[in-house]
Amino acid sequence: MLLRQLQTFAAIFEFGSLTAAAEHLHLSQPAVSRQLKALERDLGTELCQRRGHAVLPSPAGEVVYAYAQRVMVLQRDLREQVATLAAPGAGTLTLSCVDTVAVYTLPDLLQAFLLLNPAVRVRVHTVPTRIAVAEVLQLESDLALTTTPVTHPRLECLTLFDDAVALVASAEFATSLPEPFTLHHLQDLPLIAYEVGTHLRALVDAVLEQHGIRPRIALEFDGHEAVREVLLRGLGLAFVPLSTAQQDIVSGHLVQLKPEGLPVLSRQTSLVLPRDTRLSSAARAFIEVSHAHFASGGGAPAP
């Protein structure tokens, strides 16, 4: 079995036809067909099923494609490891990162990392948690940064910091709140919420339910920037990660509210890495910088 055959089969799988794969690989269609047949002979099974002009993977083809991806990732890592030996401190670091961390946490962390490792090229994929975890499992990314702990036998999860969840509103809206302001007043106030299915929404809903509170959801969004914009316009109040609101609180555009009876809420920002896998020197350096950056709490938002 040749690496080239796996690369060719992966292209057929991804492009859905021998013709498109041949164009992508700059090969003739007969050459692509020969490599596919050679791989099928070697494995003793059919890898593709033809339906009209389309080429679909067989069940065995699905398995081979998953392994082909891993082999190609290992090939890339091999080249980078050898290049690193020739040029210490260089290489490529691929991070899978949830949106909140990518926007509000990663920039300062990357600044600290690149100050010490200027020759490293960093690639960042901004994806949901489940995809970030899958990319590390498939060795498509070196590391992942998530806002929830990850438990998996093939992964290790390192806590970076606890990101408090704060109740915030615009300064103008805050002046209209009753005194004393208690958690039960939320039943009568317009709450701006994140969409159902997110970890943050589940966390907030669970706490409010424990206290017998059914909030009046006025607006619902799937992203932090949209929540921020309607908060600044005084359209309600919202539970948000403190890391996303810290600058607006410092500037006075938003006010952190602390109603009586509100328990401490937080999310755990974590670094996820593959277990029992040799990490690149760039990945190991990033882990070291991350630990140093958050060790004293300097990189985490102050509650």
Q: What is the pLDDT of residues 65-108, one digit of tens each?
A: 888 888 887 787 777 777 666 665 667 899 999 988 998 899 99
d(CA 197, CA 39): 43
Q: What is the pLDDT of residues 141-169, one digit of tens each?
A: 999 999 988 999 989 999 999 889 999 99
Q: Is the residue at 122 inside a domain?
A: yes
Question: Could you say which of 69, 84, 112 is where a domain stops?
Answer: 69
CATH number of the CATH domain containing 53: 1.10.10.10
**Same-domain check for residues 147 and 179:** no
**Same-domain check for residues 138 and 195:** no
**Same-domain check for residues 152 and 290:** yes
**Same-domain check for residues 17 and 105:** no
Q: Which domain holds residue 222?
A: 164-266
**Same-domain check for residues 87 and 45:** no
- Tokens 């290790």 correspond to 156
CATH number of the CATH domain containing 117: 3.40.190.10
Residue 155: predicted pLDDT: 93
User: pTM to 2 decimals?
Assistant: 0.67
Is the confidence at residue 286, as pLDDT, over 80? Answer: yes
d(CA 132, CA 98): 7
**Same-domain check for residues 50 and 169:** no
Give the mean pLDDT of 207-218: 90
Q: Is the residue at 111 inside a domain?
A: yes
To 5 degrees, how large is the angle CA 128–CA 208–CA 227? 45
Q: Is the residue at 301 inside a domain?
A: no
Give the mean pLDDT of 242-269: 91
**Same-domain check for residues 274 and 150:** yes
**Same-domain check for residues 174 and 257:** yes
CB within 8 Å of 279: residues ≥ 6 apart: 142, 273, 287
**Same-domain check for residues 132 and 186:** no
DSSP conformation letters of the chain: --HHHHHHHHHHHHHSSHHHHHHHHT--HHHHHHHHHHHHHHHTS--EEEETTEEEE-HHHHHHHHHHHHHHHHHHHHHHHHHHHHSTT-EEEEEEE-HHHHHHTHHHHHHHHHHH-TTEEEEEEE--HHHHHHHHHTTSSSEEEESS----TTEEEEEEEEEEEEEEEEHHHHTTS-SS-BGGGGGGSEEEEEPTTSHHHHHHHHHHHHTT---EEEEEESSHHHHHHHHHTTS-EEEEEHHHHHHHHHHTSEEEE--BTPPP-EEEEEEEEETTSPPPHHHHHHHHHHHHHHHTSTTSPP-
Torsion of CA 74, 75, 81, 82, to 10 degrees: 150
Number of domains in the chain: 3
Q: Is the residue at 302 inside a domain?
A: no
**Same-domain check for residues 90 and 33:** no
**Same-domain check for residues 238 and 113:** no
CATH number of the CATH domain containing 225: 3.40.190.290
Q: Is the residue at 303 inside a domain?
A: no
Is the confidence at residue 61, as pLDDT, over 70? Answer: yes
The confidence band for 263, taking pLDDT boundaries of 50, 70 and 90, is confident
**Same-domain check for residues 62 and 187:** no
